[in-house]
A and B are shown apart, each in its own frame.
Chain A
């Protein structure tokens, strides 16, 4: 097997420095507008205040009742439970809907009715059903992740090269064999796309759910910051949501690359 080594073009030094410069000036400007009083400190916290609170919150549960890592852990648990549930239900459902006429006829109409309802709109109902604990939020997150999983898996199967299906038929392949050996591998790139999209949807809906109904979690931290009139806590919650989401995204990306390495052409 011969593989070509890609030719790397050396990036000019200026281009390497620019991103660093961009971030540094962003934080500098942010710090400046708060410190100088252009923006009152009741409306926005300076980055240095956020960083100080970050360190404090690692060891101190007050005033919101839990340590920062505990909030993050609650959020991650909720997000991942909902995320994996949506994958486990949505991907097989979408794959089946793409190939089996019966599955499409049965599931598609209901799915099309539920699809346009934003998961957040389910929050009041889930509070009736589950209260404000973990199950309700998992349900919201599940709904959020379900839609991209179903759509991507469905479209992935539908995009299977029809001539390849005919080819398999001339070899006497059964419907089930074509589904397993042809449609599913064809749909895999789209399904992997769904892993990323669903995660983003789950994470977004998690924060929305926690903002409205929670007693812990990063979204709850943001709400508490608002209630206690502590902008630095609001910003800390936002930063943590972004950082944690980014880290999870990178992890999923690595997993995807490893899995796809053997499949991609």
Chain B
């Protein structure tokens, strides 16, 4: 993140991002092809696509864990200046598919990891951590270890941990993919509640159409085969909390399904 580029358009701007993995030394696997996506400040953007469409790779490129083969990703800082992403950093918080908690640390210890790494005082770290533990509804579980929590609770810890690091943007990589259907719907409701309480720029990757429609301000759908390309962008102008049986909800849902059948 060095060279400032003029005229920031969005919070995250991916410009013509392509990614090709080299497998077994020689074989090239194109995963992303010319993907341009923009996420506005405080927007909840969902990237929707079936498995193996490159959506997680795009998220990992934005997180700085992968470098794009061509194209670039810029992130607007708190000062509004867009800087190119060159590696992982605390300005982008990533919630992982698996829970990725420290098994030997308590809920509190996990959530306060970000502030601690930044060298804040113990009392300050605890204060921040307690705030976000309360936000995700885990008050009373501060001293529990991850193995004592259910899947939904573990992912709440993951979300609180990202929040506690106060990143510029939050990146969520199929965070509820391992949960059962009922817990999943509950966690989606919670995600909306938490996001409305403390608005952040969110980029949420999922393979679940209902989840995408329930959460996103906009939905970017990706084609169902490699290399991943952006298919369509849907605006979802429905009030929250959304109703899974709302007519407009169902209309967009059907539209996405019809469109995806063309590419699968």
Contact = CB atoms under 8 A, between A and B. Distances in A.
Given A1-B144, A265-B147, A170 B102 contact: no
A265 B145 CA distance: 8
Contacts of A171: 90, 93, 113-114, 117, 165
A265 B149 CA distance: 12
Chain A at the B interface: SS class: helix
B258 to A, nearest CB: 36
Contact of A163 (B98, B113, B117): B98
Interface string B181-220: 0000000000000000000000000000000000000000
A264 B104 CA distance: 7
A172 interface: yes
B2 to A, nearest CB: 16
Interface residues of B, number: 27
A164 interface: yes
B104 A164 contact: no
Nearest to A177: B117
Interface residues on A, range: 10 to 19
A72 B90 CA distance: 57
B92 interface: yes
B65 interface: yes
Nearest to B91: A172
A117 to B, nearest CB: 36
Contact of A169 (B88, B102, B143): B88
Contacts of B118: 172
Contacts of B114: 171-172
B158 to A, nearest CB: 9
A133 B225 CA distance: 73
6 contacts: A164-B102, A169-B88, A170-B64, A170-B93, A171-B90, A177-B117
Interface of B: 63-65, 87-90, 92-94, 96, 98, 100, 102-104, 113-114, 117-118, 143-148, 165
Interface of A: 1, 161, 163-164, 166-173, 177, 182, 185, 263-265
Given A1-B148, A171-B114, 9 more contacts: A166-B65, A166-B88, A167-B94, A167-B96, A169-B87, A170-B65, A170-B89, A171-B90, A172-B118
